[in-house]
Amino acid sequence: MTSEVCMMNRLAVVLAADSATTVSRWVDGKREERYFKGANKIFQLSNRHPIGMMIFDSASILSVPWETIIKSFRQEIGIKSFNTVEDYASELFSYLNNNQRYFPEQKQIEQLARAAQGVSYGIIISAIKDVDDADRSAAIDSAFSERDRALAEIGLPNGLNEDNVEQALGDTRAAVSDVMADFLQHIEVPVPANIDGWSDTAIREVIKNPDRYLSTTGLVFAGFGDHEFFPSMVEYCHCGIVSGRHIYKRQAAETIDHDKPAWISGFAQTSMTDTFSLGLSADVYESLMVAVNDTIKSFAEDIAAQSGGQMAAIDDVEALLQSAKDKIRDAVLDKARKEHSLPLRSVLSSLPVDEMAELAETLITLQSLKEKVTKPSETVGGPVDVAIVTKHEGLVWIKRKHFFNSDINSRYQLRQAALNT
């Protein structure tokens, strides 16, 4: 896991991120995790222009590090610039789709097949639960048919078309069917003649819901396009590769303008950023509303009982209870907005750039401290990297870790200097 912050006002963008990374592996059927604190999560997307990028969740695509991909893209575009931050994101996705040498076809097929095999196991196990042995085949067939009907209502994710899907089905169907047949024999269920149809359903489930089954990476692009006088941010979720096409979903976008002077948001683990900017974190708000939902009806019933009234005699009692819950929710959010969100936005809009950087670093440090004292595993931690992007200075580092000492690497310094000549 990780914790990242992006904040913007009319002067600049500030990006901050911790350095923790988690590496998982399976040993003797048990999941083992290792934590390291040297990951790079903030990158300069162009050597010449004011655009930066952050990543979170998976640090690689099919074992290719995002860091390698981003730096290769940076070299590829050279002095080329784009009108908006959104255009930089689109260019990166085009670069990924046009450079298949990074992602061998066989690795793409294996990834999709593994995910579809897992889906097929889940459907079968769920279908035969509490079902007599004689009825298992019919129950499984019904479950796959029901899932297939549900999938028909879901569109394809961005970047894919039906030709890509048909190619993926042809590439992975046999592998999924073979594994499914072995599993059916293991649980003593006859292998059906239409097992390939079951496999297709499992594969389509993965393709249409890639963020559930494939490795995902959050991508945050922030800075200035050529036609942008104020900064903007766009967030995408990269959801894997199918038939040579990268799947990505646009999650959010924000633009500073004459009406919106400032903005701040956290990514990945965000509880401290949410508490600071909104007045309460998402988990606290969710717990509060669950408690309200669980308590308010029993409270109303107690009042009615002690006053001699009858709840059943009240028309639309559920609507009245829901109205009360909505009023509580609105009151909480309105107070948080007035006392935290609006004042913070007002201050952030006029905050000097160096103080924005200090604020972003502090929020990451607080999240790291919270994880350290409340959880046995430190999933946020290590050095905090902080970068500022302005319209004319471009991306500059306020804090940045290095795995080497640049003072004793003169050739590296000369290579970097040559990029700006």
- Dump pLDDT digits (tens) for 137-179: 999 999 999 999 999 999 999 888 999 999 999 999 999 999 9
Query: Cβ-count burial of 2 within 10 angstroms (0-12 exposed, 13-18 middle, 19+ buried)?
Result: buried
CA neighbor of 94 nearest in space, from 246, 268, 258: 246
For residue 7, is pLDDT > 70? yes
d(CA 219, CA 237): 6
- Per DSSP, the three-state class of 302 is helix
Output the pLDDT for position 169. Answer: 95
Output the pLDDT for position 118. Answer: 94
Output the pLDDT for position 414. Answer: 86
Contacts of 55 (CB under 8 A, 6+ apart): 41, 43, 66, 70, 217, 218, 219, 220
Q: Are strands 51-57 and 60-61 parallel, antiparallel or unpaired?
A: unpaired
- How is residue 274 written in tokens? 């949410």
Provide the residue count of the chain.
421
Output the pLDDT for position 280. Answer: 80
Output the pLDDT for position 26. Answer: 63
CA neighbor of 266 nearest in space, from 283, 246, 249: 283
For residue 8, is pLDDT > 70? yes
- The pTM score is 0.87
The neighbouring-strand residues paired with 34 are: 23
Residue type, 19: S
pLDDT tens digits along 354-377: 999 999 999 999 999 888 888 777
pLDDT tens digits along 303-356: 767 766 666 666 677 787 788 888 888 888 888 888 887 888 888 999 999 999
- How is residue 56 written in tokens? 């979170």
Question: Phi, psi (5° rounding) for residue 268?
Answer: 65, -110
- How is residue 375 written in tokens? 């959880």
- Per DSSP, the three-state class of 89 is helix
Residue extents of the structural domains in the chain: 1-268+363-421, 278-350
Q: Can you tell me the mean pLDDT for 237-261?
A: 94
Q: Can you tell me the mean pLDDT for 381-403?
A: 93
Q: Give 340's DSSP letter.
A: I
For residue 126, is pLDDT > 70? yes
d(CA 27, CA 340): 47
Q: Give 382's DSSP letter.
A: S
* 12 touches 353 (CB < 8 A): yes
Output the pLDDT for position 389. Answer: 98
- Per DSSP, the three-state class of 88 is helix
Q: Can you tell me the mean pLDDT for 377-390?
A: 90
For residue 411, is pLDDT > 80? yes
d(CA 415, CA 408): 14
- How is residue 255 written in tokens? 């633009």
Output the pLDDT for position 312. Answer: 61
Output the pLDDT for position 29. Answer: 62
For residue 288, is pLDDT > 90? no
Neighbours of 311 (CB within 10 A): 13
d(CA 40, CA 54): 9
pLDDT above 90: percentage of residues in the chain: 61
Confidence band, pLDDT 50/70/90 cuts, at residue 385 = very high
Tell me the average pLDDT of the chain: 89
CA neighbor of 124 nearest in space, from 176, 193, 173, 187: 187
Among all chains, which residue has been given the structure tokens 């990476």? 217
Output the pLDDT for position 329. Answer: 87
- H helix runs in 58-161, sequence order: 66-77, 85-97, 105-128, 136-152
- How is residue 186 written in tokens? 């293991």
Instruction: State the Cα angle at 90 between 113 and 160, rounded to 5°.
Output: 35
For residue 299, is pLDDT > 70? yes
Output the pLDDT for position 395. Answer: 96
Dihedral angle, C-alpha 248, 252, 258, 260, nearest 10 ° = -160
- The terminus-to-terminus CA distance of the chain in angstroms comes to 38
Who has greater pLDDT, 34 or 314? 34
d(CA 201, CA 205): 6
